[in-house]
Structure 1
């Protein structure tokens, strides 16, 4: 495995890793909110046999620099664009989990798509915060888990004096009740690498976005992965799948690790589903 850094035009070092044959198809795994590249280790171990696998830490996350600026999804999309060009990655399959999917949507909205061959969106709703005028059905389709204003309450809790407890509680809700204590401890250790101000700022920006005008413009093969036990309604992921011509939607049931981190709780099925999609 190669572990190194690139420096963005605004002077931020981003940590990345690469593994697998350089001649293999390119796949880039994009972490979610306060996650690190290391949380894809079960995918890297599997896909490095056939694929050229790249993972990286967003600014403010993991081993990357943690400046006092740039904590918007659009800025993370610009970082992704720089990474693709700096590492000269072509015919890439982008796999985004949670906020990582939003980074792909922002990238699609802002930059050329000539390097992107396929996309996979793993358990991310298109609009997290509900419009007060929406019906419950509309909110479920958009995947809006926050009433208007709640993202501010959560962000304030994430940066306040009890920020550790707030982050731990939120993280615990992402997993099944059966998650091993050591797995939760390891995950929290990774996520705590993002300072509380970073966590709060990204939650505010991520929670405000509405990607429903971007998603129908995606014109490359797409995989959408939903989870029955996730905070995000399955209906919202099904909506994403209907907007992209030919997209495949796969739903994990609760009894098969179907929670927000299904790629961790059931890596065998996740890796099989993703590999089938990548090799089509």
Structure 2
């Protein structure tokens, strides 16, 4: 069922790129901003948009080059995507906002928090879904050290994927990668939908963004996050559960929830098991609001 009060609108970034976004629910309700991952559109969150729009003002947007947003041949780096997020938050005048980010979307949030520190007051909570703070392992690390921070790739590993995307086998490269993000119980229809949505982004821009994304190390940003945070990981994801627990340990007061194999715990758990995912997020949000109100009373 389509969410109530749904509209599609746009904002224009500081460098002239039009970003499309979905807005569902009443604007007077608390705001949730859903941030998609690499090569995925806002509609990857459709099962969350329909659920949360009853109680929240839900916004889900397409990154530049993704979905229905403009597709320039520039700006495919995490810092620019963070600036895009900042542009959206300011133009919509969002306050006390919960950011719900998946995969590369988490890196966008970490960059936003680091670079736009004067805007941190607009963020009330974070939900960080299945992303390593350091995707590429240092060559000096042992396998255990890499696993501890969910560094899923060795040096050159992501460049090989980018090489495949830019060559004659771009479709098979992205298809194989996206298939690995689902559990064996996922339907072919769901997998094909994800693949088709990814093709709205050019292989060249997807490759450029992926390489830049994987080159970042956000570990020093984590301890600076001072809003209630939920970290969600998955037992069979490319990103280790140890790494998800590491993130939660580094962010003061953060919670962590790992989806087991039986709970369809892979990279797209929010798509494969939306009922449980939505319940986990809802429980976190309700608890964070209660804690905030209690702290407010204690200060009186």
What is the TM-score with the length of structure 2 in the denominator?
A: 0.92
Task: Tell me the equivalent position of 2:66.
Answer: 61
Q: Which residue of structure 2 lines up, in the alignment, with residue 178 of structure 1?
A: 185
Spell out structure 1 runs of 4+ moving beyond 4 A.
Answer: none
Query: What is residue 217 of structure 1 aligned with on the other side?
Result: 224
1:36-92 C-alpha deviation (Å, 9 max, x unpaired): 000100000100000000000000000000101000011000000000000111100
Gaps of 5+ in 1: none
Q: CA deviation at 1:149?
A: 1.3
Q: For the residues of structure 2 that align with 1:207 and 1:22, how far apart are their CA atoms?
A: 35
Distance 1:151 1:260 in 2: 17
CA separation in 2, counterparts of 1:151 and 1:168? 15
Other-structure match for 2:196: 189
Deviations 1:235-255 (A, max 9, x none): 000000001111110000011
| Alignment correspondent of 2:240 | 233
Q: Does 1:76 align with 2:81?
A: yes
Equivalent of 1:166, from 154, 173, 180? 173
> What corresponds to 2:260 in structure 1?
253
How far is the alpha carbon of 1:27 from its aligned partner? 0.5
Counterpart-to-counterpart distance in 2, 1:158 and 1:96: 24
Determine which of 207, 211, 215 is the counterpart of 1:204. Answer: 211
The one of 37, 44, 62 equivalent to 2:42 is 37
Which segment drifts farther, 47-56 or 138-147? Answer: 138-147
What's the CA shift for 1:136? Answer: 1.4
Structure 1: distance between partners of 2:66 and 2:94: 22
Are 2:243 and 1:244 equivalent residues in the alignment?
no
Aligned-pair CA distance for 1:277: 1.1
Q: Determine if the alignment matches structure 1 residue 48 to structure 2 residue 86.
A: no
SS of the residue aligned with 1:188?
A: helix
The separation in 2 between residues aligned to 1:277 and 1:191, in whole angstroms, is 30
Query: Superposition RMSD on alpha carbons, in Å?
Result: 0.7
How many residue pairs get aligned? The number is: 280
Could you tell me how far apart the structure 1 residues matched to 2:98 and 2:148 are?
A: 26
Aligned to 1:119: 126
Match of 1:7 among 12, 19, 23: 12
Once residues 273 and 50 of structure 2 are traced to their aligned partners in structure 1, the CA distance between those partners, rounded to angstroms, is: 14
98, 120, 132: which one aligns with 1:93? 98
